[in-house]
Amino acid sequence: MNTERIKKVTERIEKDEGRMNLSLYMAEVIEELKDDRKHPAVHTYTSTLHSFAAFSGDAMPMNEVFTPGRLKEYEDWLLQRRLSWNTISTYMRTLQAVYNRLSPPGTPEHNPRLFDDVYTKVKSQIKRALTEEQMGRLMHADLDVLSEELQRVQAYFLLMFLFRGMPFIDLAHLRKRDVKDGKIAYRRHKTGKQITLRIPREALPLLKEFKDKDETSLYLFPILDAAPEGDDALYECYQKALRNFNKMLGVLAKRLLPGIKISSYTARHTWATLAYHIGMPIGIICQALGHSSIRVTETYLKPFENEKVDKANRKLISTVKKQEGRSGGCFIYYKT
Rounded to an integer, the average pLDDT of 206-212 is 94
* pLDDT beyond 70 at 237: yes
Domain positions in the chain are: 4-102, 136-261
For a pLDDT cut of 90, what percent of the chain falls above it? 49
Residue 178 or 17, more confident: 178
| pLDDT score of 22 | 87
Q: How many CA atoms lie within 13 A of 241 on its CB side?
A: 22
175 - beta bridge partners?
Answer: 219
Mean pLDDT of the chain: 85
CA distance 295 to 206: 34
Alpha-carbon distance of 175 to 186, in angstroms, equals 9
Cα dihedral across residues 271, 276, 278, 284: positive or negative? positive
Who contacts 330 (Cβ-Cβ below 8 Å, separation ≥6)? 324
Q: pTM score, two decimals?
A: 0.70
- CB-based contact 255:146 (threshold 8 Å): yes
Using alpha carbons, select from 145, 132, 129 the residue that is nearest to residue 269.
129
Q: 10-30 pLDDT, tens per residue? A: 555 544 554 568 888 898 889
In this structure, of 156-170, 218-232, 237-251, 321-335, the range with the lowest mean pLDDT score is: 321-335
HSE-CB for 111 with a 13 A CA cutoff: 11
How is domain 4-102 classified at the CATH fold level? DNA polymerase; domain 1 (1.10.150)
52-59 mean pLDDT:
84
**Inter-residue contact 161 to 270 (CB < 8 Å):** yes
Q: What is the pLDDT of residues 249-272, one digit of tens each?
A: 999 999 999 999 999 999 999 999
Report the range of poorest mean pLDDT among 11-20, 53-62, 165-174.
Answer: 11-20
Helix pair angle (282-289, 266-277), 10° resolution: 160
